[in-house]
Amino acid sequence: MSAFTVVNPATGRPIRDVELATEAQVDDAVRRALAAQRAWAALAPVARADALRAFAGVVEAHVDELAALEVANSGHPIGSARWEAGHVAQVLNYYAGAPERLLGSQIPVAGGIDVTFHEPYGVVGIIVPWNFPMTIAAWGFAPALAAGNAVVLKPAELTPLTALRLGELAREAGLPDDLFQVIPGAGPVVGRRFTTHPDVHMVVFTGSTAVGTEVAAECARMLKPVTLELGGKSANIVFADADLEGAAASAPAAVFDNAGQDCCARSRILVQRSVYDRFLELLEPAVHAWRVGDPALETTEMGPLISAGQRDRVAGFLDGVDVAFRGAAPEGDGFWLAPTVVHASPGDRIAQEEVFGPVVAVMPFEDEADAVRLANDTRYGLAGSIWTENLGRAVRVSRGVRSGVLSVNSHSSVRYATPFGGMKASGLGRELGPDAAEHFTETKNVFYATEGQDTA
């Protein structure tokens, strides 16, 4: 068995070693999950609802501890980390309503009664990336458990600490043993085994488009359903008629939050040419005011990147680009990079590829049709923002942009009560929202004949 040394990205210093599971350990975990699932699915719906509410309560009671772990392991600013831990409890509470509301249909047919049931898949394998270790995990495990499944969850090697703690808190809250198992390990070992194991019946993957494509191919070989939340290159579209001050003031958070390591990052700003210079004049002080530093401080808005490798990868995107201006970042230990705004053209690498760092490409557009064309001019289609005071334009452009999650005069992407997910190379399927628990079930149709039988 080997171990991975988890590092604090703000200091570069080791935190602790985490043992990496072997394929044999995954197989053992799946065997136990299968048994736990049968008992869980057989419980009364209200008992599953109560168990999830209890789990939410225990998470709520540990928000500060979970947040401190995320600050240390992921470098998230403490305010963000606290929000993320609280969000896990909210997601659990929201889906605690699902076991008693997984309604089937009664369909009018001749000669009997036709009824549908939402049957859980069985064991669901969830593969989580390092950028939002707690929230992305919860978007999978909460609705999956609510629907009557067991969950095996692989955190990213770089950021396993909060997921491991959530696994312990589930048991503290009284969830049955083996129902929710967190299995740290390497992607090509633990993650890949989820895709090939015959008793993992569904896979949920969040991460890069390259690995997601491999995961989908493995699942296809097993005829296994899979949901994919992949990369993004989302556009923040600013029309001349917009509240320019509001658009410029909010643009840094829309891309530099979590140091740009966010699949929804608005990493392209498209600005109507007639207000391009004015917008950049307003954006520059907002970028300079963006507070980068010690993630443990309440005032910090952006911490370090997750690793030296990720910082170097992001810095590589800046070779040869036309930098408009830069914010500030600490020097010395830790994986720091200053927020950077670059002038770009639509075909540039910086305007096409997911950087996953604090870099934004700004480009002018001519009119509404040009804005929609440019917004759609990448292989991704996850999120996006539209800034305009013209209602008709807001409706037309939001229908024209091929992205799964858009917001008008705001940058919101994630609410647990609304669906989330991408089009094109950004993914397959949707998470969150009122239907997510149902997505972790398959529909069974049963016809009960009432005629033509001996009723004597």
Task: Convert residues 108-127 into a mask of x (bound to ligand NDP by CB under 6 A) and - (unbound).
Answer: -------------------x
Distance CA 308, CA 347 (A): 28
131-150: contacts with ligand NDP (CB under 6 A): 131
The binder of ligand NDP chosen from 257, 354, 368, 431 (CB under 6 A): 354
Q: Which is nearer to ligand NDP, 18 or 68 (CB)?
A: 18
Least Cβ distance, residue 23 to ligand NDP (angstroms): 12
Least Cβ distance, residue 94 to ligand NDP (angstroms): 21
Pairing of strands 268-272, 202-206: unpaired
Yes or no: say if 166 and 192 are a contact pair by the CB < 8 Å rule.
Answer: no
Q: Which is nearer to ligand NDP, 29 or 275 (CB)?
A: 29
Structure tokens given for 181: 């198992």
Distance CA 142, CA 95 (A): 6
Least Cβ distance, residue 56 to ligand NDP (angstroms): 24
Please report whether residue 22 would count as binding ligand NDP according to CB under 6 A: no
Distance CA 69, CA 16 (A): 12
Yes or no: say if 66 and 166 are a contact pair by the CB < 8 Å rule.
Answer: yes
What 8-state DSSP symbol labels residue 191? Answer: I
Rounded to a whole number of angstroms, the CA Rg of the chain reads: 23
- The per-residue b/e assignment along 343-371, b for 16 or more CB within 10 angstroms, e otherwise, is bbeeebebbbebbbbbbbbbbbbeebeeb
User: How many residues of this chain interact with ligand NDP, rule: CB under 6 A?
Assistant: 25
Stretch that binds ligand NDP, among 10-18, 23-31, 181-189, 235-243 (CB under 6 A): 181-189
Please report whether residue 188 would count as binding ligand NDP according to CB under 6 A: yes
Please report whether residue 413 would count as binding ligand NDP according to CB under 6 A: no
Stretch that binds ligand NDP, among 77-85, 186-194, 319-327, 396-404 (CB under 6 A): 186-194
Catalytic residue, candidates 70, 219, 263, 264: 263
Distance CA 73, CA 65 (A): 12
Catalytic residue, candidates 229, 301, 354, 431: 229
Least Cβ distance, residue 416 to ligand NDP (angstroms): 17
- Closest residue (Cβ) to ligand NDP? 187
DSSP-H helix ranges across 190-275: 192-196, 209-221, 244-256
The binder of ligand NDP chosen from 187, 225, 330, 429 (CB under 6 A): 187
Distance CA 213, CA 228 (A): 9
Please report whether residue 191 would count as binding ligand NDP according to CB under 6 A: yes
Stretch that binds ligand NDP, among 6-14, 228-236, 295-303, 428-436 (CB under 6 A): 228-236
Q: Any catalytic annotation for residue 229?
A: yes
Pairing of strands 423-424, 340-343: unpaired
- The per-residue b/e assignment along 413-445, b for 16 or more CB within 10 angstroms, e otherwise, is bbebeebbbbbbbbbbbbbbbeebbbbbbeeee
Q: Which is nearer to ligand NDP, 32 or 313 (CB)?
A: 313
Please report whether residue 128 would count as binding ligand NDP according to CB under 6 A: yes
Stretch that binds ligand NDP, among 39-47, 79-87, 207-215, 323-331 (CB under 6 A): 207-215
Q: Which is nearer to ligand NDP, 35 or 186 (CB)?
A: 186
Least Cβ distance, residue 116 to ligand NDP (angstroms): 33
- C-alpha pair distances (Å), 337 with each of 305, 315, 327, 369: 7, 8, 9, 35
Distance CA 411, CA 247 (A): 10
E strand or H helix at 161: helix 161-172
Please report whether residue 303 would count as binding ligand NDP according to CB under 6 A: no
Q: Which is nearer to ligand NDP, 217 or 369 (CB)?
A: 217
Q: Any catalytic annotation for residue 219?
A: no
The binder of ligand NDP chosen from 263, 292, 363, 406 (CB under 6 A): 263
Helices 276-289 and 244-256 pack at an angle, to 10 degrees, of 50
The binder of ligand NDP chosen from 75, 122, 207, 252 (CB under 6 A): 207
- Point out the residues that are catalytic: 229, 263
Q: Which residues bind ligand NDP (CB under 6 A)?
A: 127-131, 154, 156-157, 186-188, 191-192, 206-208, 211, 214-215, 229-231, 263, 354, 356
